[in-house]
Amino acid sequence: MVPTMGPALRARYTVTVFFLLIAACKTSGPPAPHVLAFDHGPLYSEPGRVESACEEAEAVARNARSVLLAASVETADLDSVLYPWNRMAGTLENAAGVMSLLANVHPLEAVRKSAEVCEQRLQRLGSAIELDPALYRRMAAVEDAALDPEAQRFKHKVLERLLLAGVDRSDEVRARLAALHEEMVVVGQTFQRNIRDDVRKIEVDRDALVGLPEDFVAAHPVNENGKVVLDTNYPDFFPVQTYADQSAVREALVRAFSSRGHPANEVVLKKLLELRHEYAVLLGQRSWAELRAKDKMVETADRIRSFTEEVAELARPRMQRDLEEVLSEKRQREPGAQQVQKWDRFYWVKEVQKKKHAFDPAEARLYLGYRSVLEGVFALFSELFEIEIVPTERPVWHPSVLSYELRQGGRAVGRFFLDMHAREGKYGHAAMFPLTTGLWEGALSEAALVCNFPDPNSGPALMEHSQVVTLFHEFGHLMHHLLARNSQFVNQSGISTEWDFVEAPSQLLEEWAFDAGVLARFARHHETGAPMPARLIERMRSARDFGLGIHVMRQVFYQSLSLELHDRSPEDLDLARLSHELEARYAPYPPLEGTHEYASFGHLDGYSSMYYTYQWSLALAKDMFTRFAEAGLLSHEVARSYRDAVLQPGGMKPARALVSDFLGRASTLDAYRAWLSGAN
């Protein structure tokens, strides 16, 4: 996952803050503007440091804006308009990235709140820029004939963004759009905060942990009341759902997990939908979903809906077969069972995998210690993409965070942080947070991976294989952002492609987590050091796609909910009713009365109506993977081609062109359809 940011768009605590103004320029062309890139210092150990950094970023952006406004429309060109705009946009984007990270991971609540306030200020300034007709006129006045193709693309992407924002509307409409945007930022932050901070807990007897791995049980001693406390964070939630034999325990934790953010987010989400709908209607669109689709590969909300139905048609028969098999297995222990419930989804799929494929995920996790997995990922992609990952000593925001430098051809091209273990007040899912958008011969790309994996300082830190897949996924985002610095312009660097392509590089890399040759490199028994047996890998691969129909239809439910909440008027909208209706239509499990899953559906803030991007991007990833499948996942030639054709260009070409450059043909849905139908 990649968090979305604003429209303009370390290992110790210290108190020093400093910035580098780095020239972002191509050696063969005129100098690009200075873009404010943060050295990140300590990533700000106190609120005052956040505020001063925010003021610095605003000052640089405002100065660039003044330069733009001083430019003559008659003589508008690369130096007087495009370069100052790049400086302004890049500075705001980089600052917003840092503040988004701090707001989600910093251990001090005061710093998180200060970062949220800065995000609001940066978004406000970005909105004012996008709605300024004088700035639009200067950009529009630059003659295409005087620009190379890269600069032309920069110009037209900026103009497209400004028109979508409403820069050509009346003064009254633009003022209302600005007010709506500012309020949406605050409401969206509240929605996410309510999810992040609402960690729920249940207490169970120790014998309720029957079935769970020994290391999990050992890490959960009884409290003063003789009870074991389980919470809704991932390190507890997924093991309990996968291994706990007592269905009552799984059910209790699912109910707690599905109730996070409620009732607070009932009102907050409704308000956010109202603001978005008014914003879209002011821009002449029927809905927020229609507005958000305009600059995506999908283009229209109706195409999202038809794509959703197409995926559902492919996946539903497979889901029904999966459910019948799971229910049959469940009835072996619960003869009267009539349905597969939400708290059955991981446990009973695992039981079928054990019986049908002789694969037990509990056995696989013994070979997947966090440290060895991470080292394996580093080594694998260093080799494939011809890069070097070097540990560094940089100030961080928490002692558990590690920092690294990415080198290519012996030269530093990027830096990244790993914040990989759960703690109070931290973002509870997995995401790559962009911090600095790298430019050609300029600022280094920077990012942070934020996950919630087992902590090796608290035990053997054995990972579920699904967590290994998540690590590969997020590493795909990381490679995309860090390597995409071939342009001198921020809107063509990093992950600035169409948003429905952003998940393709991450989903592509998930394939490597199932490859026997790859696993043989790092999957070692945490006690003996013995490699994961080849027969275990074979069984895991055999079991991989059981439950695929269930998984995809659950995704279809989410993408339908994401769309339908945003493709209608929110007036008189009953959130629970709509959610339950869509769940009954698409999801593999019956709605769970008394829960409100939409209140903790964090993607409704950033991705809003665009959750479809996961399956859309997956279809592209499956197509691109065909080259690796033919040549081998460890093919250096294909990996180099993928790096050069897809990752490094960033947004310098439309996503369809990136894919066709790599494949040597236009992309099709054939590989995705074959995967869903079970034909491959």
Write the DSSP string, 269-284. Answer: HHHHHHHHHHHHHHTT
With a cut of 80, say whether residue 442 has pLDDT above it: no
Give residue 1's pLDDT.
73
In a domain, 287, yes or no: yes
Give residue 199's pLDDT.
94
**Taking a C-beta distance cutoff of 8 angstroms, is the pair 651, 492 a contact?**
yes
In a domain, 190, yes or no: no
Give pLDDT tens digits for 332-357.
Answer: 999 999 999 999 999 999 999 999 88
Give residue 675's pLDDT.
92
Q: How confident is the model at residue 45 (pLDDT cuts 50, 70, 90)?
A: confident
Q: How confident is the model at residue 19 (pLDDT cuts 50, 70, 90)?
A: very low
Residue 290 sits in a domain whose CATH number is 1.10.1370.10
Q: Are residues 152 and 35 part of one domain?
A: yes
With a cut of 50, say whether residue 11 has pLDDT above it: no
Q: Are residues 628 and 607 part of one domain?
A: no
In a domain, 590, yes or no: yes
Give pLDDT tens digits for 62-91.
Answer: 999 999 999 999 999 999 999 999 999 999
Q: Are residues 328 and 287 part of one domain?
A: yes
Which residue range is the domain that position 632 belongs to? 614-677
In a domain, 48, yes or no: yes
Q: Are residues 631 and 604 part of one domain?
A: no
With a cut of 70, say whether residue 398 has pLDDT above it: yes
- Among candidate residues 46, 96, 69, the one with its CA nearest the CA of residue 437: 96
In a domain, 628, yes or no: yes
With a cut of 70, say whether residue 9 has pLDDT above it: no
Q: Are residues 136 and 60 part of one domain?
A: yes
Give the list of residues 6+ apart from residue 655 with CB closer than 8 angstroms, or none.
Answer: 297, 497, 498, 500, 501, 504, 620
More confident call, 542 vs 366: 366
Give pLDDT tens digits for 151-183.
Answer: 999 999 999 999 999 999 999 999 999 999 999
Q: How confident is the model at residue 6 (pLDDT cuts 50, 70, 90)?
A: very low
Amino acid at 468: V
Q: Are residues 132 and 31 part of one domain?
A: yes
CB count, 10 Å around CB of 358? Answer: 14
Amino acid at 421: H
Q: How confident is the model at residue 542 (pLDDT cuts 50, 70, 90)?
A: confident
Give residue 456's pLDDT.
93
Give the C-alpha separation, 265 to 161, whole Å: 30
Pairing mode of beta strands 34-38, 445-453: unpaired
Give the C-alpha separation, 601 to 116, whole Å: 20
Give the C-alpha separation, 614 to 449, whole Å: 19
Q: How confident is the model at residue 478 (pLDDT cuts 50, 70, 90)?
A: very high
How far from 81 is each of 9, 68, 159, 290, 307, CA to CA, in Å?
A: 17, 6, 13, 31, 40
With a cut of 50, say whether residue 14 has pLDDT above it: no
Region 586-615 average pLDDT: 94
In a domain, 59, yes or no: yes
% the chain with pLDDT above 90: 88
Give residue 677's pLDDT.
83
Q: Are residues 209 and 148 part of one domain?
A: no
**Taking a C-beta distance cutoff of 8 angstroms, is the pair 81, 68 a contact?**
yes
With a cut of 50, say whether residue 107 has pLDDT above it: yes
Region 4-22 average pLDDT: 30
CB count, 10 Å around CB of 238? Answer: 15
β-bridge partners, 20: 37
Region 534-547 average pLDDT: 90
Q: How confident is the model at residue 418 (pLDDT cuts 50, 70, 90)?
A: very high
Q: Which two tokens stand for residue 46?
A: 């106190």
Return mean pLDDT, the chain. 91
Give residue 37's pLDDT.
57
In a domain, 128, yes or no: yes
Report how far apart the first and last C-alpha atoms of the chain are (Å, whole number): 26
Q: Are residues 208 and 107 part of one domain?
A: no
% the chain with pLDDT above 70: 93
Q: Are residues 133 and 246 part of one domain?
A: no
In a domain, 470, yes or no: no
- Among candidate residues 514, 511, 502, 515, the one with its CA nearest the CA of residue 646: 502
Please tell me the total count of domains within the chain: 4
Which of 238, 257, 276 marks a domain boundary?
A: 257
Q: Which two tokens stand for residue 393?
A: 């000593």
CB count, 10 Å around CB of 73? Answer: 13
Buried b (16+ CB within 10 A) or exposed e, 560-586: bbbbbbbbbebeebebbebbbebbeeb
Which of 213, 235, 257 marks a domain boundary?
A: 257
Give residue 657's pLDDT.
97
Q: Are residues 643 and 601 part of one domain?
A: no
Give the C-alpha separation, 317 to 581, whole Å: 20
Residue 89 sits in a domain whose CATH number is 1.20.1050.40
**Taking a C-beta distance cutoff of 8 angstroms, is the pair 232, 200 a contact?**
yes
Which of 166, 191, 218 marks a domain boundary?
A: 166
Which of 20-29, 222-231, 555-564 is predicted least confidently?
20-29
Amino acid at 102: L
Give the C-alpha separation, 99 to 47, whole Å: 11
Pairing mode of beta strands 388-392, 228-231: unpaired
Report the alpha-carbon angle 277-280-283, nearest 5: 150
Give pLDDT tens digits for 483-526.
Answer: 999 999 999 999 999 999 999 999 999 999 999 999 999 999 99
With a cut of 70, say whether residue 7 has pLDDT above it: no
Pairing mode of beta strands 445-453, 411-421: parallel
Q: Which two tokens stand for residue 404?
A: 């690294």
Q: Are residues 242 and 119 part of one domain?
A: no
Q: Are residues 211 and 331 part of one domain?
A: no
Q: How confident is the model at residue 428 (pLDDT cuts 50, 70, 90)?
A: confident
**Taking a C-beta distance cutoff of 8 angstroms, is the pair 548, 672 a contact?**
no
With a cut of 50, say whether residue 568 has pLDDT above it: yes
Give residue 680's pLDDT.
61
